[in-house]
Amino acid sequence: RFVGSLGTVIIKCKDLRIIQLDIPGMEECLNIASSIEALSTLDSVTLMYPFFYRPMFEIIEDGWRSFLPDQEFELLSSVTDEWRLSCINKEFSVCPSYPPVVIVPKSIDDEALRKVAMFRHGSRFPVLSYYHKKNGMVMMRSSQPLTGTNGRRCKEDEKLINATLRPGKRGYIIDTRSLNVAQQARAKGGGFEQEAHYPQWRRIHKCIERFNILQESLIKLVEACNDQSHNMDRWLSKLEASNWLTHIKEILTAACLAAQCIDREGASVLVHGTEGTDSTLQVTSLAQIILDPRCRTIRGFESLVVREWLQAGHPFQQRCAQSAYSNSKQKWEAPVFLLFLDCVWQILRQFPCSFEFNEQFLIMLFEHAYASQFGTFLGNNENERFKLKLPQKTMSLWSWVNTSEELSKFQNPLFEANSLVIWPSVAPQSLQLWEGVFLRWNRPSKFLDEAHEEMISIIKYNKELQAKVNALRRQLAEMETDDRMQENL
């Protein structure tokens, strides 16, 4: 992550910043370089900063307990009784990457779930991701079924996902791989749901890239952004060649499709790719942002990240290890979560008044996913976090973010609750490079920041006036009634 030469240390950070330190003295320079090198590539998780970090703020709320599955289920059971909380994974014994409790259809018992788990990649059996209150349709997620080349089937699996359908209704399975890739997966024991065995479901393939393709895309994009040449053509072709915006478009399109199936077609949806830990989560979480106004609030979004990313077992430690400047090819590294945040930013840009949080909030999450003093994004799933005793030994990011002082930095002054479904445009003309992340260190943001401040002060002044007018009005009303009373006397 750094290149040292003749008294110069260049530190390339995970948040894409590049710092150059000129240090007099060859030897000192080398020492510093090797120390930084050693300290930034620690092998053991338990030696990392979150385990030593002592917060300087007053903890009002323990973030580790802010978003518990029970609360989520309580909300759900107030609108429907077709689902139940299953503790089948209590000791992480059925599925190592799932949380201890999951929400499944009421009619399916734990025994059946165990069988379904055997039939799904990594035992990630279909669980509830989202319930659409408006029409009672649901979104589930899972991993690929293990049909293999000989077309294995699992009656319990069929029964489980059929349990989410209303009589006579059909559902959609969104496979985040192309048909080709899905077919190839059969050779390795994976596969997809065959029409014959799932007659009530229509399968749609959407191609979302994964792993090293995404990582290379990120590396190319960051390279293009750091290019100092004055050539307009090179900039555009490099931006194009990185394919970053193509990935954004693909992911958003798949999410819009899922949302469309639920809201417009009135159908339930099952989303999966191969493992169900990456593109699947991008689709399910973005679809919820489109559909559910709650996910566009700060707390709701935090809850979404906890549910759909942390508890759902997105392997943060593997995916967000080195960021864009890594020299060594990390096999598991991929900016899946960053792509998700970028997609959220695209929607935010198109609906600037519908989100309670601002761009800074998303940037903050990006930074903490890659490097943080908090334990929230450590580990690859709940199981690992449990073993590391993170809730006991580290601070939760949410404990810090949800202090009122921090919250005020992340609030969008333009926010006005919007209870509608928001349909973003995915046309190329509507998608833009997320400058706040990718050009953050290369362009002066002073004038844009000033504009933001101006915006805040306009709205603040308006609110102050409103309060004043209201107070005066109340005072006047009181005086007038007093008056009238006196008159009556």
Partner 1 sequence: VENVRLLDRLSSRKAALGTLYLTATHVIFVENGSETRKETWVLHSQISSIEKQATTASGCPLLIRCKNFQVIQLVIPQERDCHDVYISLIRLARPVKYEELYCFSFNPKLDKEEREQGWKLVDLNEEYNRMGIPNNYWQISNVNRDYGVCDSYPTELYVPKSATAHIIVGSSKFRSRRRFPALSYYCKDNNASICRSSQPLSGFSARCLEDEQMLQAIRKANPGSDFLYVVDTRPKLNAMANRAAGKGYENEDNYSNIKFQFIGIENIHVMRNSLQKMLEVCELKSPSMSDFLWGLENSGWLKHIKAIMDAGIFIAKAVAEEGVSVLVHCSDGWDRTAQVCSVASLILDPYYRTMKGFMVLIEKDWVSFGHKFNHRYGNLDGDPKEISPVIDQFIECVWQLMEQFPCAFEFNERFLIHIQHHVYSCQFGNFLCNSQKERRELKIQERTYSLWDHLWKNRADYLNPLYRSDHSQTQGTLRPQMAPCNFLYKFWSGMYNRFEKGLHPRQSVTDYLMAVKEETQQLEEELEVLGERLVNLQKLQLNDNKVKSTQQDRSKQLGLSSSNNSLANTPQEYSNDLKSFPSRSPSQGDEEDSALILTQDNLKSSDPDLSANSDQESGVEDLSCRSPSGGGCLPSEDSGKDSDEAVFPAV
In the numeric block, the tokens 């008056």 are attached to 483
> Distance between CA 241 and CA 235 in Å, rounded?
10
Q: Give the number of other CB atoms < 10 A from CB of residue 121.
A: 21
Among 41, 46, 149, 462, binds partner 1 (CB under 8 A): 462
| CB closer to partner 1 out of 329 and 443 | 443
The set of residues, in sequence order, having a beta carbon less than 8 Å from that of 78 and lying 6+ positions away, is none
Among 245, 272, 294, 311, binds partner 1 (CB under 8 A): 245
Binding status of residue 469 toward partner 1 by CB under 8 A: yes
Binding status of residue 433 toward partner 1 by CB under 8 A: yes
> Distance between CA 66 and CA 302 in Å, rounded?
9
Binding status of residue 483 toward partner 1 by CB under 8 A: yes
Binding to partner 1 (CB under 8 A) within 336-365 occurs at 349-354
Binding status of residue 195 toward partner 1 by CB under 8 A: no
Task: State which amino acid sits at residue 351.
Answer: F
In the numeric block, the tokens 């954004």 are attached to 248
**Residue 251 CB, nearest distance to partner 1 (Å)?**
12
The set of residues, in sequence order, having a beta carbon less than 8 Å from that of 488 and lying 6+ positions away, is none
Binding status of residue 479 toward partner 1 by CB under 8 A: yes
Binding to partner 1 (CB under 8 A) within 162-181 occurs at 170
In the numeric block, the tokens 């306009």 are attached to 458
| CB closer to partner 1 out of 11 and 422 | 422
In the numeric block, the tokens 């401040």 are attached to 453
Among 24, 27, 196, 230, binds partner 1 (CB under 8 A): 230
Binding status of residue 237 toward partner 1 by CB under 8 A: yes
Binding status of residue 259 toward partner 1 by CB under 8 A: yes
How many residues bind partner 1 (CB under 8 A)? The answer is 84
Binding status of residue 282 toward partner 1 by CB under 8 A: no
**Residue 362 CB, nearest distance to partner 1 (Å)?**
17
**What tokens does 150 get?**
């000989």
The set of residues, in sequence order, having a beta carbon less than 8 Å from that of 146 and lying 6+ positions away, is 118, 119, 120, 121, 152, 189, 190, 191
Among 180, 184, 430, 481, binds partner 1 (CB under 8 A): 430
Among 235, 297, 321, 436, binds partner 1 (CB under 8 A): 235
The sign one gets for the Cα dihedral 441, 443, 449, 450 is positive
**Residue 250 CB, nearest distance to partner 1 (Å)?**
9
